[in-house]
Structure 1
Amino acid sequence: MAFLSRAILLLLPAVVCIQLSGASGDGIDRCWCLNSLKRAVPKEEIEEFSIFPRRSNCDKVEIILTLKPVNNSTEVIQRCLSPETKQGINLQTCWKNKNINNTPTFKISSCFQV
């Protein structure tokens, strides 16, 4: 009986940690884009982009742009783009038509000549 009590006491913190971490089946537990740009970003400034469809814990399509480094910087700058903008619609169309390997990120040069 003492062994069972100790086992439960050791298991309980692990279960609580998993619950608090928000672990879900797809590994994504919320929307990443809290604020999205409503204006276009010049294509010359974009290195690549990712599009995340609606999922169980985020009810909107998210477009994340990775911008090219500025002034030899090593800092990675990412911005969210509203999927309803003209540029957002164009990127989604390109993603659907050209991303045949379903890669997580897609080079902007694959969509448009810059």
Structure 2
Amino acid sequence: MAHLLKALILLQLTVVCIQLSGVFAQTVPDRCWCLNTLKTRVPKDDIEEFFIYQKRERCNNTEIILSLKPVNTVTEKQQRCLSPETKQGRALHICWNRKNINGTRSVVKISECFLKP
């Protein structure tokens, strides 16, 4: 009986640890996504959407991740990192701030940045 009780307590402890690890995995920021960034302009016609990760605990860089439009038979979206110091990076950051006022946007379509008011 004592072994059964110890086994149940161990099982409960394991379940709690697994649940907590899932919570911490969602709240602890990941490392930097962009190891290399583009310093050159990417044609806006090649960009479908973009996302900006602000500086966070494990990454001291602002990261701009571009999702490129599929080319020919490539069905998988290709992503590239754009340097936030470039003229295009600064322009996309301004657009991001304008569209992401309350912090709920996950991505911004590139077409939203170039609409006439």
TM-score by length of 1: 0.77
Distance 2:57 2:40 in 1: 27
Q: Partner residue of 1:29? A: 30
Q: Partner residue of 1:69? A: 70
- The structure with more helix, counted as a fraction of residues: 2
Deviation of 1:93 after TM superposition, in Å, equals 0.7
Q: Partner residue of 1:110? A: 112
Give structure 1 regions of 4+ aligned residues with deviation exceeding 2 angstroms: 1-16, 98-102
Counterparts in 2 of 1:51-66, with a 5 A limit? 51-66=52-67
Runs of 5+ consecutive residues of structure 1 not aligned to the other structure: none
Q: Is the contact made by 2:52 and 2:63 (CA closer than 8 Å) also made in structure 1? A: yes
Q: 1:41 to 1:15 in 2, by over 3 A?
A: same
SS across alignment from 2:114: coil
Distance 2:97 2:88 in 1: 14
SS across alignment from 2:27: coil
Q: Partner residue of 2:48? A: 47
* C-alpha RMSD of the superposition: 2.9
Distance 2:26 2:66 in 1: 25
Distance 2:55 2:8 in 1: 40
Distance 1:5 1:60 in 2: 47
Distance 1:36 1:3 in 2: 56
Deviation of 1:76 after TM superposition, in Å, equals 0.8
How many residues get paired?
112
Q: Which has the larger radius of gyration?
A: 2
TM-score by length of 2: 0.75
Counterparts in 2 of 1:75-114, with a 5 A limit? 75-100=76-101, 102-112=104-114
SS across alignment from 1:23: helix
